[in-house]
């Protein structure tokens, strides 16, 4: 039982006090509880071997789902040590530095604003577990994404069969009408469990949750397995796409080869899923394919970072913005087309200068010109803001030269 939930200290228990885990655990509780109650009504577990197997299997789904869910939450992704530096000081030129963690970002690691740490092999920050998905908990998280739909499918079958059998026992057919008596079944049964209108409504509600969870979580599972079998993360998929865009934009003729795809789906699979549940890698150094080395990806990230600075466009704020997620005062298009991301919104004040790196039809993403702000070291002022609040600068304020038309990603 000591391996059921592993966490460094009791402070980690506060992760449950978040809307994501509260909703997730509520859905698990409702679906599991109603399925257990309805399985007693539909398939009494003490009379037949099939009923016993059905009941035991239902309990096992719940235990396995909670086991992987809590491990994904409390084990965590694994963090790069504060102040980490490569063993060879000369390798530092291939790495990005993190001012907040006061060190360098190890290969495949990224800084998470929510966790405020550099995360090993970061895939994404998941609000449903209120933690990052990374090196140490990627297997637990993906197992949860598989088991949750399977358990919900089993629960859906039980809920549907229970409602069908209970309604069938209460239907009275007449010449001109069909009546349903929701008080008690007409037939005598070996046990009596009340199943009135409230029981039917609760079962129907649980069925809706189970079907919705099966579809939503099942899609996430297929997305995760797609990147796992290629030994990538969702962030690295995006880095690879930007690498192709950079090469095509500048027509350099180079070819970017993702270094961590070992060429075998089974080998890629084994890097995430092990019998012990603990990955074989330490989260810092990774096996790479032939022709690549440890810093192939980080070198590409440095090229993209420099490219982003070159291709960014300077804008001037012409309208204040409070940083609201869905601002009503900025127009109905801005309100309904807000970016569906956990990235922050950035407050704007008239006259400020913004370096924009990417944009949507009604929103833009960029960072404030820190030269005009009294910003502390390591403090980043960046995020999304409405496009209507800014206008493009005709002159670069630093050189007083006309700005060139540049592509915004």
Positions annotated as catalytic residues are 126
| Highest-confidence segment of 286-300, 361-375, 387-401 | 286-300
Q: Is the pLDDT of residue 59 over 50?
A: yes
Do 319 and 385 lie in a common domain?
A: yes
Contacts of 172 (CB under 8 A, 6+ apart): 178, 179, 180, 181, 186
Average pLDDT over residues 350-366: 90
**Cα distance between residue 282 and residue 85, in whole Å:** 15
| Residues linked to residue 395 through DSSP beta bridges, in sequence order | 402
**Cα distance between residue 244 and residue 237, in whole Å:** 11
Q: Residue 381's pLDDT band (boundaries 50, 70, 90)? A: confident
**Cα distance between residue 135 and residue 143, in whole Å:** 14
In-domain check, residue 28: yes
Contacts of 160 (CB under 8 A, 6+ apart): 207
In-domain check, residue 385: yes
Do 155 and 213 lie in a common domain?
A: yes
- Would you state the pLDDT for residue 373? 44
Do 113 and 236 lie in a common domain?
A: yes
In contact, 61 and 156? CB cutoff 8 Å: no
Q: What percent of the chain clears pLDDT 70, i.e. is strictly above it?
A: 84
Contacts of 88 (CB under 8 A, 6+ apart): none
- Would you state the pLDDT for residue 181? 54
| Total count of domains within the chain | 3
CB atoms within 10 A of CB 218: 17
Instruction: Find the range with the poorest average confidence among 174-178, 201-205, 261-265.
Output: 174-178
Do 72 and 151 lie in a common domain?
A: yes
Q: Residue 409's pLDDT band (boundaries 50, 70, 90)? A: very low
| Residues linked to residue 133 through DSSP beta bridges, in sequence order | 124
Do 211 and 141 lie in a common domain?
A: yes
Taking Cα atoms as reference points, which of 42, 41, 66, 39 lies closest to residue 55? 39
Mean pLDDT score of the chain, rounded to an integer?
85
Coil, strand or helix at 66 = helix
Report pLDDT digits (tens) over 231-269. 999 999 999 998 998 898 888 888 889 999 998 999 999
Host domain of residue 163: 10-77+136-228
Taking Cα atoms as reference points, which of 87, 210, 191 lies closest to residue 150? 210
Query: Residue 272 to residues 71, 112, 137, 265: CA-CA distances in angstroms?
Result: 14, 21, 9, 11
Do 194 and 163 lie in a common domain?
A: yes
Q: Residue 177's pLDDT band (boundaries 50, 70, 90)? A: low
- Would you state the pLDDT for residue 58? 93
């Amino acid at each position: 039982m000591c391996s059921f939930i592993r966490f460094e200290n009791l402070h980690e228990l506060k992760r449950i006090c978040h809307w994501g885990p509260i909703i997730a655990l509520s859905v698990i509780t409702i679906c599991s509880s109603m399925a257990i109650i309805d399985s007693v009504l539909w398939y009494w577990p003490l009379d037949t071997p099939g009923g016993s197997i059905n009941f035991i299997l239902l309990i096992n789904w719940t235990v396995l789902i909670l086991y992987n869910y809590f491990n994904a939450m409390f084990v965590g992704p694994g963090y790069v040590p504060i102040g980490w530096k490569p063993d060879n000081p000369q390798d530092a030129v291939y790495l990005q530095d993190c001012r907040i963690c006061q060190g360098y970002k190890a290969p495949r690691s990224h800084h998470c604003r929510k966790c405020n740490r550099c995360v090993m092999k970061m895939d994404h920050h998941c609000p449903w577990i209120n933690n990052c998905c990374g090196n140490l908990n990627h297997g637990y998280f993906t197992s949860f994404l598989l088991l949750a739909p399977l358990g919900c499918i089993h629960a859906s079958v039980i809920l549907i069969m229970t409602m069908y059998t209970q309604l069938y026992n209460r239907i009275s057919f007449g010449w001109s009408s069909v009546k349903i008596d929701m008080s008690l079944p007409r037939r005598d049964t070996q046990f009596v469990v009340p199943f009135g209108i409230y029981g039917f409504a609760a079962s129907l509600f649980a069925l809706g949750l189970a079907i919705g969870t099966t579809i939503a979580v099942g899609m996430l599972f297929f997305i995760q397995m797609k990147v796992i079998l290629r030994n990538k993360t969702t962030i690295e998929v995006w880095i690879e796409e930007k690498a192709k865009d950079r090469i095509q934009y500048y027509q350099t003729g180079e070819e970017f080869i993702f270094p961590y795809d070992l060429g075998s789906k089974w080998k890629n699979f084994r890097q995430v899923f092990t019998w012990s549940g603990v990955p074989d890698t330490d989260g810092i150094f990774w096996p790479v394919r032939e022709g690549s080395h440890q810093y192939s990806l980080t070198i590409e990230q440095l090229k993209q970072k420099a490219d982003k600075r070159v291709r960014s466009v300077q804008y001037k704020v012409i309208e204040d913005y409070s940083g609201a997620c869905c601002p009503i005062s900025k127009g109905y298009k801005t309100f309904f087309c807000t970016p569906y991301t956990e990235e922050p919104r950035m407050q704007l004040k008239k006259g400020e200068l913004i370096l924009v790196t990417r944009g949507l039809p009604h929103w833009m993403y960029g960072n404030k010109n820190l030269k005009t702000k009294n910003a502390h070291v390591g403090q980043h002022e960046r995020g999304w803001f409405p496009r209507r609040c800014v206008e493009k600068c005709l002159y670069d304020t630093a050189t007083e030269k006309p700005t060139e038309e540049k592509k915004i990603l």
